[in-house]
Structure 1
């Protein structure tokens, strides 16, 4: 009887130990799984973007860079770490701030870039810092100085171009050289003829001298006759010479700056000892 009781107690105690070990193992397994799940959730949540400004910047840069319409689903596909609620709220906030344009289409809201009013962006879609007025004025001064230099260079090139265009070509220069050479040769031939023979004969020179003397004599006579007639008219008209000249309209040699033919019948001051009064004598010598 006692042996049976001892065996039963031993069997119960052994089963109890087995149950305790199994419970302890099960509890350890559940605890481990719970910790792993919490760790996974923590890591997943740590990857999500939680800063509002950073979320807005990323979404705004994406839409501005691509420059095409987006809905929240397309944003969610581009940023898997963002949640739907966060994306919807951010898009709505950007639309209210005027940073994005929006329109509802079949219960779906479409967002796109505000055209020609947003800041300038670089190739990555980030805003380019705006320059100050001082920087712009300094850049403008540099551009103006460069423009002045370029204008001076252009002016010099245009002047050089005009000079080159005004110059004769090689063919024109050669043609002019040939023409001048021919004229020079002809003049040399005439000069040689003048030097080797008498150009005007004595008879011709005498005839010319007589013609000049006669012409000068007639000129002097007619001027004297005009003065006599003019003096008589002035005496009877009681007018001044200037007024009468304006009424009649005559012109004198002095008015026209015409010089009288020299009197070759008288010897020139440099030829007082010469007996030949011909104007061609000097040329002959």
Structure 2
């Protein structure tokens, strides 16, 4: 059984095999390494296969006797056919990938129910914005005095936390950065420090805007129609 399986494998693939390669390919048949070694020895002795030695390594090849020898023209024709088949295979793979991508996009698309819910949510958002805009045009007060004071208090608290943290960081950085070479911006980027400048904001600018807005509240003005 092992001898027939080994011979069939070598002949079918028509390429060199080592013993371990034969064992790996015959795992599903349950043929162990000792049986494979015994089979190749018997096949070599009977002349059904050829054994080539490369140092301590033995390679077993199928006999090439009786095989058809292609002419130069036939060989070129086979190469051209192989090239064409390869191009067809590549085109098929590309089409399959495109089809898979399209299928994934459809699977990720919203269902009809999800679309209806989205439309409803957007409609409600639009109505709320329109109502807010109408109130602004009519000159109505959209924010109560208590709400404004609460917002101002929260803003001042946030600004104070910002100021303290900037001060603490600056003190620590000045203490540890003495003697460090390189641009400060490059060092900040390397160690992951997010600066005000990188975020596109400055403490002074926000504070100035807040003070201007606070002064503006004392001088209410109507919104033009």
Larger radius of gyration: 1
Shorter-chain TM-score tier: 0.3 to 0.5
What is the TM-score when the length of structure 2 is the normalising length?
0.42
Highest relative contact order (Cα 8 Å, sep 6+), 1 or 2? Answer: 2
TM-score, length-normalised on structure 1? 0.35
